[in-house]
Amino acid sequence: MYKKDNITFEEIPFNLPALISSIKSSFEKAAKEKGIRLIIRRDIDVPDIVIGDPLRLTQVLNKLISNAMKFTDEGSVTMDVSLNNSTPTQVYIDFSVEDTGIGIDDALKVFTGSLAITKQLLLLQDSDINFQSIPGTGSVFSFCLAFTKIKETTTVQSVTADIQNFAGKKVLLAEDDDINRMVVSKFLQNWLLKIDYAITGKEAVDKVKENDYDLILMDLQMPGLNGYEASQQIRAAEKTTPIIALTAHAIPEIKSKTIHAGMNDCIGKPFNPDILFKILSQYLADTK
């Protein structure tokens, strides 16, 4: 983890194909409604697991795809992910988003609006965004990011042999942030879990009272009733479902507070999929 200009960037292992797939899934409905094709292409040489900040990458790609779809009424929006270069410790990956929209004739105005934050996020990661456009034909936005390679001694949980243990089990994901909810959901879906959602603490409490869940993932900082208060109300209702806190804070600082509120464990955000899988395995192993 490191911080630049008061923005924190994570350095954690994550599954790049899963992240890309989750982004595509989030835009498929909108693309279908507009009658345009959403195309994702990934170079087979791009590694599956890299170390970096999945949340910031998701923010950048979401913004570029959203922007491309906004100005495209026919044709397609295409995201390409390809290998640029590789060293013994790092891998450099090219990302591009191309559309067949109206194009932009004034390049100076491109990064003075909503894309200014996107550009800043990339600059803070020692990257930058390139832009090409032909009015009436379309636009291409591209950038290159460096990621740290996974060392051979680094364990990345292989779920292929174990996900059958999760099949059919139901998880309540209480999370108000759209991007966090999307990223977590994709992994849960890949692990064959059934997912229900709550975006406020009150909604989480109400759903737990009305339904039976095998596990609850509880964001601590939700509007209104926060995760601590929601967990206390769930325990007061004599519900013993395991509750795992989702927190952007340092875990040692909040561990005792989450336990006191009735939660069983906690995991940091942006989360490490390997750690999430292990925690789910621990608490779902004996559930029916």
Domains recognised in the chain with CATH numbers: 2-149 (3.30.565.10), 163-284 (3.40.50.2300)
Q: Which residues pair with 185 in a beta bridge?
A: none
This model's pTM is above 0.75: no
Tokens linked to 242: 């395991």
**SS3 helix, strand, coil % of the chain, rounded to 5?**
40, 30, 35
Tokens linked to 244: 């795992």
Q: What is the pLDDT of residue 208?
A: 95
Q: Which one is predicted more confidently, 265 or 6?
A: 265
DSSP 3-state assignment of 81?
Answer: strand
pLDDT tens readout for residues 66-75: 999 998 999 9
Cα–Cα distance measured from residue 197 to residue 217, given in angstroms and rounded to the nearest whole number? 10
pLDDT tens readout for residues 176-199: 888 778 878 878 887 788 999 999
What percent of the chain stands above pLDDT 70? 89
pLDDT tens readout for residues 69-126: 998 999 999 999 999 999 999 999 999 999 999 887 766 567 766 688 899 999 999 9
Q: What is the pLDDT of residue 286?
A: 57
pLDDT band of 161, cuts 50, 70, 90? very low
> What does each C-alpha distance from 116 to 54, 77, 108, 143 come to in angstroms?
20, 21, 11, 14
pLDDT band of 159, cuts 50, 70, 90? very low
Residue 155 pLDDT > 50, yes or no?
no
Residue 63 pLDDT > 70, yes or no?
yes
